[in-house]
């Protein structure tokens, strides 16, 4: 299960959650810890660069927050990030530098590495998006199974139990998710992989692969 480990999926130099992710084996193990990590990190942020605009909500002075947005704590919005109209950040959200949180996008219990884009009508819940990951318009994570049972990760027929009831997706660095795709609970998209638009993804997509609409997976060429 080496490919599922945090250090295989992410370059942690590109997130303020570096120490958190380096403390776990599999990245989803960080999901229950995001809120308390943000609170500890926020208390150490330089006042010259960040404003605490409400309790446990820190926004970089260089960030651009449009009108008609909602940001609940704990949350950190990094430098030069845009939060566009209609965005709903529900808390436990660590958003990195140079990110785009787009119109009508909803975030909840997430880590967004630097340069992540979720720019149009996305839902990202109980998930981690690696450096320069991008979700096309309407692409969403599904973070709870219909029967509310615990989520496992399926890798080539092997199951890894997570012990979590809520777990959306892990997107490795440079992952690209096509428009209107659904990432089912426990989806893992490896570094540099692509998901075709209108895909229904379940389980593990290896690094540097393409997930096609019919569910087949081929190497990037």
Q: What is the CA radius of gyration of the chain?
A: 16
**Helix%, strand%, coil% for the chain, nearest 5:** 15, 40, 50
Cα–Cα distances in angstroms (integers) from residue 139 to residues 1, 86, 107, 184, in the given order: 27, 17, 13, 11
Q: pLDDT for 151-171, tens place per residue?
A: 999 988 889 999 999 999 999
Tens place of pLDDT per residue across the chain (221 aa): 788 999 999 999 999 999 999 999 999 999 999 999 999 999 999 999 999 999 999 999 999 999 999 999 999 999 999 999 999 999 999 999 999 999 999 999 999 999 999 999 999 999 999 999 999 999 999 999 999 999 999 988 889 999 999 999 999 999 999 999 999 999 999 999 999 999 999 999 999 999 999 999 999 98
The answer to whether residues 87 and 102 touch, using CB atoms and an 8 Å cutoff, is yes
The answer to whether residues 64 and 81 touch, using CB atoms and an 8 Å cutoff, is yes
Going from N- to C-terminal start, the domains of the chain cover 2-219
How many angstroms separate the CA atoms of 1 and 18, rounded? 21
150: helix, strand or coil: coil
In CATH terms, the fold of domain 2-219 is UDP N-Acetylglucosamine Acyltransferase; domain 1 (2.160.10)
Q: Which residue's entry shows tokens 């399926």?
A: 154
**Cα 2 off chain centre by:** 20
Q: What is the pTM of this model?
A: 0.97
Q: pLDDT for 44-86, tens place per residue?
A: 999 999 999 999 999 999 999 999 999 999 999 999 999 999 9
Give pLDDT, residue 3: 87
């Amino acid at each position: 299960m080496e490919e599922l480990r945090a250090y295989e999926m992410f370059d942690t130099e590109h997130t303020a959650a570096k120490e958190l992710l380096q403390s776990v084996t599999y990245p989803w193990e960080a999901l229950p810890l995001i809120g308390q990590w943000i609170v500890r990190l926020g208390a150490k942020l330089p006042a010259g660069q960040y404003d605490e605009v409400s309790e446990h909500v820190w926004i970089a002075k260089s960030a651009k927050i449009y009108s008609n947005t909602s940001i609940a704590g704990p949350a950190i919005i990094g430098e030069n990030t845009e939060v566009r109209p209609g965005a709903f950040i529900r808390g436990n959200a660590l958003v990195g530098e140079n990110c785009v949180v787009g119109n009508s996008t909803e975030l909840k219990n997430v880590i967004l590495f630097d340069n992540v884009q979720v720019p149009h009508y996305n839902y990202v819940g109980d998930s981690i998006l690696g450096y320069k990951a991008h979700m096309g318009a309407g692409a969403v994570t599904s973070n709870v199974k219909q029967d509310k049972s615990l989520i496992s990760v399926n890798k080539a027929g092997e199951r890894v139990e997570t012990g979590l009831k809520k777990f959306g997706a892990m997107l490795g660095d440079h992952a690209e998710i096509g428009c209107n795709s659904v990432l089912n609970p426990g989806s893992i998209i490896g570094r540099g992989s692509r998901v075709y638009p209108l895909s229904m993804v379940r389980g593990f997509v290896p690094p540097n692969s393409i997930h096609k609409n019919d569910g087949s997976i081929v190497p990037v060429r």
